[in-house]
Structure 1
Amino acid sequence: MNSRECLFLGCVVLLGLSLGCATTPGDVRLRADGTPLSEKCPEKSLEVMRYLQLFVGEAAWVQLDANQSRARTITLYDGPIESVLDEDIGTLEAPARLYGRVWTGGAQPVIRYYAAKRMRGGDTVPICAVARLGFGQLRKLPESKPGTAVLDSSRAGVYIVDEFR
């Protein structure tokens, strides 16, 4: 077992010990436009991210929707999302899966990730990350209907955070 696998296994054990204390991630109050208010990153997620060497501000590319990877335009819906990590970040190796939630109420979707799972086995571990693109590139296209966000790219940056703002 290499050091990355030992580190990941340690995080899984910590997660298993904390399941009784878990709250529902993404269950936040919304603003009038349907976007989520700030949300603290759970202490257990911060602890696991330290073990996984996922430091605030680190970033990688992600395919926003595992079911629409590499498509020219994609449609995101309010609710759960499964994304695919295109690059390693910390000790989390691509093509790991990221699990989170999408809110489409504002001018651009808000995507928060609460968990990750390595593709080479292992349990799901808690994290805090967001999807972002600069220069307004994550803005919804005009054909977006309520409850959806039509985007002209299937990729975005995923950034590690210590609080959702």
Structure 2
Amino acid sequence: MAPVRLLLPASVLLFFVSSSCTTIGGLSLRPDGSPGPETCPEKALEAMRRLGLSVGDSSDVELDVNQTDTSPITLYDGPVESMLNSPLGTLPAVTRLYGRVWTGGPQVVIRYNEAHPPDEEPIPICAVARLARGQLKKKPESKPGTAILEFSSAGLYIVNSFR
């Protein structure tokens, strides 16, 4: 049997390791599985300045191009391809947006890091999908790793960091 004086430090260490946020690819996750804060890369900030995009600029976005105009839709943890429904600055409607979905918390979190206008090279950006009044809240029947949402579209907002 291990002496008590050895068990106590090991128990304290295990407590702190297990109660901290986990990380995936350097990004910290909150206890509910939603992503923690993340800085917007300088390359994206510069590209957004060149496009004339400012924090708070917004547009409408189709959350998953494979489920356009469907209700409800199911999103999965991981990469997502979305599409602008209306122009955003100099980016035309139908610009593809690439990012990541997290379904761990009560609200779905979607962060975008790339815009791909038609017939142009991809452009780094920082943007999030949002809807007022909890509309990105998962339906109760959502299974782990998925989120069933009422609507296939949301608002897209330019940000200078992810919170």
Q: TM-score range by the shorter chain?
A: 0.7 to 0.9
Any idea what the Cα deviations from partners look like across 1:83-126, whole Å, max 9, x if unmatched? 0100101111111000000000000110000000012x011110
The two structures have a TM-score, normalised by structure 1, of 0.82
- Segments of structure 2 that go 5 or more residues without pairing to the other structure are 1-24
Cα offset, 1:143, TM superposition? 0.8
Question: 1:29 corresponds to which letter in structure 2?
Answer: S
Question: 1:118 corresponds to which letter in structure 2?
Answer: P
Shift >2 Å, 4+ stretches: none
Matched ranges for 1:11-90 at <5 A: 27-90=26-89
Cα offset, 1:27, TM superposition? 5.0
Question: 2:56 corresponds to which letter in structure 1?
Answer: G
Question: Do the aligned partners of residues 164 and 75 (structure 1) sit closer, same or farther apart at CA in structure 2, a change above 3 Å counting?
Answer: same
Question: 2:143 corresponds to which letter in structure 1?
Answer: K
The size of the alignment, in residue pairs, is 139
Q: Name the counterpart of 1:92.
A: 91
Cα offset, 1:34, TM superposition? 0.6
- Segments of structure 1 that go 5 or more residues without pairing to the other structure are 1-25
The two structures have a TM-score, normalised by structure 2, of 0.83
| Cα distance in structure 2, aligned partners of 1:29 and 1:38 | 7
Q: Name the counterpart of 1:163.
A: 161
Q: Name the counterpart of 1:9.
A: none
Structure whose CA Rg is larger: 2
Q: Name the counterpart of 1:139.
A: 137
| Cα distance in structure 2, aligned partners of 1:136 and 1:144 | 15
1:127 lines up with 2:129 in the alignment: no
1:153 lines up with 2:120 in the alignment: no
Cα offset, 1:29, TM superposition? 1.4
Alpha carbon RMSD of aligned pairs, Å? 0.9
Question: 1:91 corresponds to which letter in structure 2?
Answer: T
Question: 1:140 corresponds to which letter in structure 2?
Answer: K
Question: 1:162 corresponds to which letter in structure 2?
Answer: N
